[in-house]
A and B are shown apart, each in its own frame.
Chain A
């Protein structure tokens, strides 16, 4: 990529150095028209241009350890296969009108130990599909799109307008691939030195996630819960999107999500601020305490308390709602800055504050807490065989009560006093791809120092042609089962990949 940009620079410099004073400096007698005997370059007929792009990515993974099937409904897949395809057409109707339509498809299959409970699903979706209208002062984009707020591409705190696909591997997927397009109207304009962005997302779209039944599911054994029912694998994945929710935010004429961003640049430093008022993309699930107690007893394999059981039956008969899954709204305020350091490194800084955001305790009960987020990122800003990036994410959640515990963010020993909970996460990536060679080697990893959990994904790749490449990677998790990254610790696997681009 950086080599690509550099070539662009080279070509640009040619055009940049071409003088703008042609007519004045070269009178008619010097004009090439006067007898040069050269052919004339025919100007093209103006009209729409169409560009088609697309790709296919196949991944196949085998676990390094085969865990036997579990009785709590949280057995792991020991073999996984995934295919992602996209096909997009980009039509420039005129200098001020552009239409993009993209289709995406996801196919996934997996099986537990002994190839038991094999299952697969196919999920075709609309990718980006928008109409652009460019004017001198404002560029408008309406349709299914990906919005970008903040400086850091993966962790900017105000970049919450697009839901994420949480079914993707944290280290084997590019952060931008996990971002799902939403229907939105966005205006991008300039007022003096300010670049302004205003976005409106009228229809609610939650994150895509699996509650159970996949290796990246929200419920893992480290949480100590079990699935209180048995579901046939053929319908398991189809159930997931609605398992935790009982109600979604109202759409039009209600407000939807809104975001404003302003950026400017002084002496090579780009800085800005943003505000987002949006629905959270994961539901707050609240279980009636009596029902919760019954389910936990069942999870422990204990007989239900008869009095509780009768009470719950009576209340259900009376039409009481014992489970709710609703989405809360939150304000997020952000400041951002981007600058070049030492003329070769890009530094991104994001600071975010939300007066109320949903976290969960170890019983998965929602807790609304204010949160301050700091993100520092450094990355390569010049062409090189060696590419790197590193991001530190710091999260501070004040006012955590003595009897509360933020699940996975805090160790179990944190309980006991009113405190501010902290999460520190270092995410890094490095890649070495010698110029002119067809191979590359690299890794991506994350480290969380408080509970000392980490994930590491080394990778080697080979490019056969411009359109076809293959790779081999490993995904290794370490840490206690109840820690941010050790939570997924049984997902260690070897993954082969194939990428085909049009």
Chain B
């Protein structure tokens, strides 16, 4: 059997690094922001995940929610499916979101197991706080409603003992935020910390990844939190299970919402 010689290996490694490092160094803030957004709070495309959300209010009141989530790109549109497992009042409720065409809002359908019927859901406002959690549509739909192109590099920092690029940008008019500062892990492009101000420039929320794990060919923030600095409330997201999604296209249709 042919064995590579150590010297040759080292040379190849050095050559690879020399090729790789300048390429990363030249990456624009917009490219980093885009890759980071794609890794969002969770990167579930092609995966099925079981998630737990725990919200603790300022007065210490805790509430837990458990969901399963899966997403698949069908044609040009991302189809996403969430099923509620907790709390008891919403067990079996399922939500199908079909990404809208460019410039159009997503189509959202809600399955109510007690009624055995699918309801249409209004396009939710990005800034709205949902289910008494500290996340909003804008928080999880990227890093805060800012465009990739407006992000600018603002140096480097360390988060979770890992090197991160610091990007700063102004949020768009639809966003509930004024300015967004994103710390992007340099090895994985996962956003490890995001700081938001409100429209008046006051500190508003902080997103923090607490644990990263490899799953297959990607890295996922398996534990993260969103803290509302103005209300003192914190929501933790925890990934309990992850698996490759084996779901066919038909699993992301309204008729499949009742499958449970």
Q: Which residues of A contact B (CB under 8 A)?
A: 1, 3-20, 22-23, 25-26, 29-33, 35-36, 38-41, 43-44, 46, 51, 53, 55, 90, 92, 95, 98, 100, 132, 134, 136-137, 139, 146-148, 151, 153, 174, 176-177, 188-190, 195, 268, 270, 338-340, 343-344, 346, 379, 381-383, 435-436, 466-467, 501-502
Q: A4-B84, A6-B137, A20-B78 are in contact. List 13 more A-B contacts (CB 8 A).
A: A1-B90, A3-B132, A6-B131, A7-B130, A11-B67, A11-B135, A15-B69, A17-B38, A17-B40, A32-B187, A98-B259, A132-B260, A501-B88
Cβ contact within 8 Å between B217 and A33: yes
A29 to B17, CA, bound (A): 9
A40 to B106, CA, bound (A): 33
Cβ contact within 8 Å between A14 and B132: no
Report 14 cross-chain contacts, Cβ distance below 8 Å, ordered by A residue.
A3-B131, A4-B90, A8-B84, A11-B51, A22-B218, A26-B189, A36-B219, A38-B214, A39-B214, A100-B260, A134-B256, A139-B258, A381-B122, A435-B132
CB closest chain-A residue, reference B62? A466
CB closest chain-B residue, reference A347? B120
Cβ contact within 8 Å between B141 and A13: yes
Cβ contact within 8 Å between B35 and A25: yes
Cβ contact within 8 Å between A38 and B213: yes
Cβ contact within 8 Å between B243 and A40: no
Cβ contact within 8 Å between A8 and B67: yes
Decide if B206 is an interface residue (CB 8 Å cutoff): no
CB closest chain-B residue, reference A154? B115
Decide if B99 is an interface residue (CB 8 Å cutoff): yes
Cβ contact within 8 Å between B213 and A39: yes
Which of A29, A38, A268 is within 8 Å of B219, CB to CB? Answer: A38
Most buried by B among A14, A90, A153, A190: A14
Cβ contact within 8 Å between A5 and B97: no
Chain A positions within 8 Å of B139 at CB level:
10
Within the complex, what minimum Cβ distance (angstroms) separates A347 from chain B? 9
Which of A41, A44, A92, A344 is within 8 Å of B122, CB to CB? Answer: A344
Cβ contact within 8 Å between B117 and A18: no
Chain A positions within 8 Å of B193 at CB level:
none
Cβ contact within 8 Å between A53 and B91: yes
A132 to B258, CA, bound (A): 10
Cβ contact within 8 Å between B140 and A13: yes
Chain B positions within 8 Å of A20 at CB level:
45-46, 73, 78
Chain A positions within 8 Å of B202 at CB level:
none
Decide if B82 is an interface residue (CB 8 Å cutoff): yes
Chain B positions within 8 Å of A22 at CB level:
38, 43, 45, 217-218
A98 to B251, CA, bound (A): 14
Cβ contact within 8 Å between B219 and A32: yes
A19 to B248, CA, bound (A): 18
A95 to B256, CA, bound (A): 12
Within the complex, what minimum Cβ distance (angstroms) separates A339 from chain B? 7
Q: Which residues of B contact A (CB under 8 A)?
A: 16, 20, 24, 35, 37-46, 51, 53, 57, 63-65, 67, 69-71, 73, 78, 80-82, 84-85, 87-93, 95, 97, 99, 106-108, 110, 112, 114-117, 119-124, 128-133, 135-137, 139-142, 187-189, 212-215, 217-220, 222, 239, 241-244, 246-248, 250, 253-256, 258-260
Within the complex, what minimum Cβ distance (angstroms) separates A305 from chain B? 53
CB closest chain-B residue, reference A44? B241
Cβ contact within 8 Å between B142 and A17: yes
**A7 in contact with B42 given A13-B141, A139-B256, A382-B124 (CB within 8 Å):** no
Which of B38, B39, B63, B114 is within 8 Å of A176, CB to CB? Answer: B114
CB closest chain-A residue, reference B235? A7
Cβ contact within 8 Å between B65 and A7: yes
Chain A positions within 8 Å of B124 at CB level:
6, 9, 382-383
A58 to B138, CA, bound (A): 41
The secondary-structure label for the interface of chain A is mixed
Chain A positions within 8 Å of B71 at CB level:
12, 15-16, 18
Which of A16, A25, A55 is within 8 Å of B99, CB to CB? Answer: A16
Most buried by A among B70, B128, B239: B128
Cβ contact within 8 Å between B69 and A11: yes
Within the complex, what minimum Cβ distance (angstroms) separates B28 from chain A? 14
Within the complex, what minimum Cβ distance (angstroms) separates B57 from chain A? 7
Within the complex, what minimum Cβ distance (angstroms) separates A42 from chain B? 9
Considering the complex of A and B, which 3 residue pairs feature the smallest CB-CB distances, nearest first? A6-B130, A7-B131, A13-B141
CB closest chain-B residue, reference A14? B140
Cβ contact within 8 Å between B248 and A16: no
Cβ contact within 8 Å between B214 and A33: yes
Cβ contact within 8 Å between A381 and B132: no
Which of B42, B84, B244 is within 8 Å of A15, CB to CB? Answer: B42
Cβ contact within 8 Å between A16 and B42: no
Within the complex, what minimum Cβ distance (angstroms) separates A154 from chain B? 9
**A174 in contact with B114 given A12-B95, A41-B213, A346-B119 (CB within 8 Å):** yes
**A5 in contact with B259 given A10-B135, A15-B45, A16-B71 (CB within 8 Å):** no
CB closest chain-B residue, reference A31? B217
Chain A positions within 8 Å of B189 at CB level:
26, 30
Chain A positions within 8 Å of B219 at CB level:
32, 36, 38
Chain B positions within 8 Å of A190 at CB level:
250, 253, 255
Within the complex, what minimum Cβ distance (angstroms) separates B253 from chain A? 7
Within the complex, what minimum Cβ distance (angstroms) separates B105 from chain A? 9
Cβ contact within 8 Å between A15 and B80: yes
Within the complex, what minimum Cβ distance (angstroms) separates A261 from chain B? 12
Chain B positions within 8 Å of A3 at CB level:
130-132
A340 to B80, CA, bound (A): 21
Chain A positions within 8 Å of B242 at CB level:
41, 43-44
Which of B88, B106, B130 is within 8 Å of A55, CB to CB? Answer: B88
A405 to B142, CA, bound (A): 65
Chain A positions within 8 Å of B97 at CB level:
9, 12-13, 16
Within the complex, what minimum Cβ distance (angstroms) separates A61 from chain B? 23
Chain B positions within 8 Å of A9 at CB level:
82, 95, 97, 108, 121, 124, 130, 137
Within the complex, what minimum Cβ distance (angstroms) separates A92 from chain B? 7
CB closest chain-A residue, reference B114? A176
Chain B positions within 8 Å of A466 at CB level:
63-64, 87-89
A237 to B206, CA, bound (A): 61
CB closest chain-B residue, reference A156? B117
Cβ contact within 8 Å between A137 and B95: no
A6 to B218, CA, bound (A): 27
**A41 in contact with B239 given A5-B121, A12-B71, A501-B88 (CB within 8 Å):** yes
Within the complex, what minimum Cβ distance (angstroms) separates A87 from chain B? 12
A189 to B256, CA, bound (A): 9
A190 to B222, CA, bound (A): 37
